[in-house]
Amino acid sequence: MDKPSHLSVILDLSPTQWALCAQSTNPPGISLQAFLSQLLAFFNAHIACKDENTLAVFGALPGQSVLLYSSTGEVVAKDTEPTDPNTYRPFKTLDATVMNSLAEHIASFDGVSEEAPIGLVGCLTKALCYINRVTSNSSTPSSEGEGSAASVDPRILVLSVSPDQSSTYIPIMNSIFSAQKLRVTIDVCKIYGAENVFLQQAAHLTGGAYVQVEKPDALLQYMMMSFLPPPALRQLISVPTQDRVDFRAACFCHKRIVEIGFVCSVCLSIFCQPVPVCSTCRTKFPIKTLQRLNASRPLAISASTPGTPARPPAQRNGTATPATPRPG
């Protein structure tokens, strides 16, 4: 049970959202600076738990995703200052490396590509690739007696401040499936902003915790209690899970988040309105079915705006599909 665990952290570093978060008073926000100092303490705590614990930190910046730190040493801090005897060396290196590479990347763009959406998906896939490499490396030589995949307990923690981007629905879903396959737990910590539908689903489907932070001052305590215990320990320690999960999906045609969608019976693509030809697999649907479906559509659907629809009742059974068009 006491085996090393790997943690990949994904930081949402959207400048706009952090600015909003720092100014926000209701609900109370937190500045990036304060957030980082609490985060570093959390990192140190993770390493402190076990000498063999590993850590990778990814930054989701507008339009790009970067590796900020990894225990395997891909990122090295430029200036190695003399160590002081009051600090445990690995902590010092970790903190310095994260801060340096963060400062470097933030300095490298000044509002040029401000409007680009953050590279959350890029981070997720990079984190999964990293985990895949770490687990497959460690499994070959040192497997301790029994199975190899069990030698590290990988998990991903997403610290999010940005709202959902409905255009990323498909890649996020694909990442979730790969995470399930790799047996990676995805934890989500929503520091600022409304609930994030896709990340909620990610946490739910991989058995992770989803925490909406209400008091950002106590962020460290939230993280210690919910995200520090490795998956093996969560059988004993309860971590917050959601009782209501928003299972809405985004349609493939307009990337809207839909409550009622229309699913291609061949390839399971989701559409917000009945279509004569499936855009993914080119299946043609009979005109009669289309008419019937159009007639049965509730009127509210067409009026719903993309991005922030009204919160629907929690659904437990996935996307609601009132009727499925059948190809000829």
Partner 1 sequence: MPSVTIKAPMESQDASTATAAASHSLITFLQSQSQNMLTRLYQKPSACLSLFRLLRPLERQLVMNLLWLDLSIPPSTMAAWVTREGKKPYQDALGTLARLHILPPSAAKLALNPTFKSGLRQAITGGGTSGSFGVLAENDEKHPAPEIEALDAYALERWETILYYMVSSGTGQFPAKPSAGVLFLLERSGLMASVHGGALQITSAGFQFLLHPPHVQLWELLLQYLQMAEERQMDLVEVISFLLMLSTTELGKDYSTEKLSATQKAMLEDLRDYGLIKQRTGSIGIPKATSRRFSPTRLATTLTSSSPPLPTSAGSGDGTHAQGFIVLETNYRLYAYTDNPLQIAVLNLFVTLKSRFPNLVIGAITRESVKKALANGITADQIISYLVTHAHPQMRRNKPLLPVTVQDQIRLWELEKNRMKSQEGYLYTAFASQADYEYVLNYAKQLDVVLWENASRRCFFGSLEGHANIRGFIERRQTAGNA
Q: Which residues bind partner 1 (CB under 8 A)?
A: 1-2, 4, 41, 44-45, 48-52, 82-83, 85-89, 91-92, 95, 141-143, 145, 220-221, 224-225, 228-230, 232-233, 235-238
CB of 118 vs partner 1, minimal distance in Å: 29
Cβ 289 vs Cβ 324: under 8 Å: no
Shortest Cβ distance from residue 81 to partner 1 (Å)?
A: 12
Report the residue number, 83 or 113, with the smaller CB distance to partner 1: 83
DSSP string, 248-260: -EE-TTT--EESB
Sign of the Cα pseudo-torsion (147, 149, 151, 155, in order): negative
289 CB-near residues (< 8 Å, 6+ apart): 274, 325, 326
- Sign, CA dihedral 216-221-225-230, equals positive
196, 60 contact by CB (below 8 A): no
Per residue in 102-113, is it b (16+ CB within 10 Å) or e — as a string? beeeeeeeeeee
- Among residues 198 and 227, whose Cβ is nearest to partner 1? 227
Place of tokens 């300095």: 107
Q: Which is nearer to partner 1, 225 or 301 (CB)?
A: 225
**Based on CB atoms, which residue is closest to partner 1, 25 or 235?**
235
Question: 260: which DSSP letter?
Answer: B
Looking at the Cβ atoms of 61 and 159, the one nearer to partner 1 is 159
